[in-house]
Amino acid sequence: MSEKIKIALIGLGTVGTGVARVILEESERLTRRCGKQIELAKVVVRDKKRPRMIDLPEEIVTDSLQEVLDDKSISLAVQLIGGIHPAKEYMEQLLDSGKDVVSANKALLCEHGSELFSRAREQGRSIAFEAAVAGGIPIIHVLNQAMSGNQITSIEAILNGTSNFILSEMFLGSRDYEDVLQEAQELGYAEADPTLDVDGTDAAQKLCLLTQLACGTKVSLDQFPRQGIDTLALDDLLYADELGYSVRLLAVTRISNNQLEMHVQPTLVQLDKPLAQVNGAYNMIALEGDIVGKTWYSGLGAGQNPTASAVISDLVDTVAGRNKLIFPFMDLWDSQQPLEVLPAEKIRRRYYMRFNVLDQPHVFAEMADILGRNQISLASIIQHETPETGESNTDEQQVVPVVIMTHLTTEGQIQAADKELSELKSLLPNRVIMPVLD
């Protein structure tokens, strides 16, 4: 008869329900994987009366976190509630009452991870968070253990499944952004308020966590450019394809000369690269280490079961005593020399630009002049003779799309040119500018 470990589950939403189900239905499997019997001793919910998607013994369901804090026989809490408050206060109380914590809350760890990790270390407890980044892809395990001989030199990743679903469905089905977004909401891939997914915030929080883990330096959202997919049109995906690229919401960190280059932006990726071939709600992370070279990891980035799988792996690691031997060595936050984040304006890449211009003399000369004065040189230009998607402005003057691929230039020069271009009367305001992944 193996030792019994009592655990609490805080939060019974989609992921919490999935985790509870695996603990209850696969208890023999989990015992085999960690040598101990995992007993779900308490489940803390906000509203005990709300209907649940899982049958639980009534006596373990409570709306009081205090019951868990007071129960010294519970040594581990799986905390699956989103947002910053009260998630932060809950985690602090759980750690202070001597419990190891498993969390999936990327926003909380991105913003307050440094304090929470210090607190856990002071209390001799551990925090595990495989489920906070890229759901079913075990990227935290990979960074903490499999890459331990390496300095990570680059992370190139699709970290938001909602955005990837929208981009790939737009392209594959020749559909508009709004149309696909609505389908994503119906399928449960996108929230009722999809802002944090489609504006790049979610991917940026995950990139911060990965970068902090890979480099041991604290980075925050305001230190790097962040742009979502909500300004893209189907046309951009079609032009990109014509040029030999796929558009992906890419989260990138490059580490060189003690400097970090970071950005989260819709990005042109060459069609033959693995990142260009990821469709639907999948995530992919391309990780480069100085010893191992380049490696790729792909799987579903969200959803009840993939995320539950990640939570369970942390739970099993913690119960087996492994996480106590992983957590102290995470290269997180203040464990190393802080690295400088390259200022946005110095990031050097090639760019895709689409302008909708009024079809009148001198427009192109004015545009080219602005780009030239900003040291931006052009690699290729597409202006189709019969624009299929020409719009008309109020004066019935014809509008034609012009697509430009630049040679290497900087985000600073692009921004300066964009500001001047915005003042051209012959350019419509809906410009799209995206970097290229090289």
Q: Does 30 bind a second copy (CB under 8 A)?
A: yes
By C-beta, is 316 or 347 nearer to a second copy?
316
Q: How far is the CB of 287 from a second copy (least distance, A)?
A: 9
Beta strands in 202-271 (DSSP E): 245-256, 259-270
Q: Which of residues 252-291 bind a second copy (CB under 8 A)?
A: 272, 274, 277, 289, 291
CB of 302 to a second copy, least distance (A): 11
Q: Give the integer Cα–Cα distance in Å for 337 and 416.
A: 33
129 bridge partner residues: none
Max Cα–Cα distance, the chain, nearest Å: 86
Range in contact with a second copy (rule: CB under 8 A) among 21-29, 202-210, 241-249, 370-378:
21-29
Q: Which position has the token pair 């189709």?
A: 384
From 7-15, 65-73, 132-140, 352-360, span contacting a second copy (CB under 8 A): 132-140
Does the footprint of a second copy cover residue 296 (CB under 8 A)?
yes
Candidates 54, 60, 61, 146; binder of a second copy (CB under 8 A) is 146
Helix 201-215 and helix 106-122, axial crossing angle in degrees, nearest 10: 30
Please name the amino acid found at residue 6: K
Pick the closest to residue 102 from 413, 328, 313, 274 (CA basis): 313
Does 156 participate in binding a second copy (rule CB under 8 A)?
no
Long-range contacts, 116-125 (Cβ 8 Å, 24+): 116/88, 116/91, 116/92, 117/330, 117/332, 117/333, 119/92, 119/95, 120/95, 120/327, 121/327, 121/328, 123/95, 123/96, 123/98, 125/95, 125/98, 125/99, 125/100, 125/101
> Nearest distance from residue 176's CB to a second copy, in Å?
24
Write down the least CB distance from residue 99 to a second copy, Å: 20
Given the complex with a second copy, which of 297 and 364 has the nearer CB atom?
Answer: 297
- Return d(Cα 299, Cα 128) in angstroms, integer: 20
Q: Are 109 and 84 in contact (CB under 8 A)?
A: no
Enumerate the active-site residues. Answer: 206
* Shortest CB 173 distance to a second copy, Å: 15
Chain positions 410 to 429 lying near a second copy, rule: CB under 8 A, are none
Nearest to 251 by CA among 291, 209, 218: 209
Q: How far is the CB of 168 from a second copy (least distance, A)?
A: 12
Please give the residues from 314 up to 373 whose contact with a second copy meets the rule CB under 8 A: 315-317, 320-322, 325-326, 328-329, 331, 335-336
Nearer to a second copy, 35 or 244 (CB): 35
Contact between 4 and a second copy per CB under 8 A: no
Which of 26, 39, 183, 241 touches a second copy (CB under 8 A)?
Answer: 26
CA 116, CA 92: separation in Å to the nearest integer? 7
Distance CA 103, CA 110 (A): 12
| Residues at the interface with a second copy (CB under 8 A) | 18, 22, 26, 29-30, 32-35, 130, 136-138, 141-142, 145-151, 272, 274, 277, 289, 291-300, 305-306, 308-313, 315-317, 320-322, 325-326, 328-329, 331, 335-336
